[in-house]
Amino acid sequence: MKLVILDRDGVINQDSVNYIKNPNEWIPISGSLEAIALLSQSGFRVAVATNQSGVSRGLFDMVTLNSIHDKMHREVAQISGRIDAIFYCPHSAEEHCDCRKPNTGMIEEIGKRFSVDLSLVPAVGDALRDLQAFAKVGCQPILVLTGKGKATLSAAENTNDVEKALPANTWVCADLGEAVQRIIAEYA
């Protein structure tokens, strides 16, 4: 089975410093839904791994989070795409859970759920914490320059701190569409 892991905010949809708190605030990035549809049509399973600390912060509840995800599923399905599973961490960083990226619990759970060797899985994010979680479990980390991506790349290029640098062999792509083209070329 071919699997791809995607972060949500900043990769699939526009991000906000004020959080995505309801379905109306969930706005897809141009071309991202088509990229997911192309993955589906090319035989890939798609899992989303997203930190959603707005739940623990009381900014929205689980019903609202599910409504946001229902909208995402519907919009992808309308163009013949599919998201096979959504994994989320509802905790804030202060809770020190195992599932919140850059920790690996959520990514490891995806590997178990799909019974896949994570070293064979491309994983796309826009923040350093995404890439760190992906790399720690052996995924192919892919940085997109949407969302926080440009700031993530700039910070990584302007540091001598190994903890703030991009993981080794990270691919850098303009957006999810470009990332998917490369994934299909390398993994199909």
Catalytic residues: 7, 9
CB 65 within 8 A of CB 55: yes
Rounded to 10 degrees, the C-alpha dihedral 44/181/156/137 comes to: 20
| CA distances to 61, 71, 116, 175 from 120, in Å | 34, 29, 8, 21
Alpha-carbon distance of 45 to 63, in angstroms, equals: 25
Tokens describing residue 100: 């919140």
CB atoms within 10 A of CB 29: 21
Enter the DSSP assignment of 23.
G
Asked if residues 147 and 137 have their Cβ atoms less than 8 Å apart, the reply is no
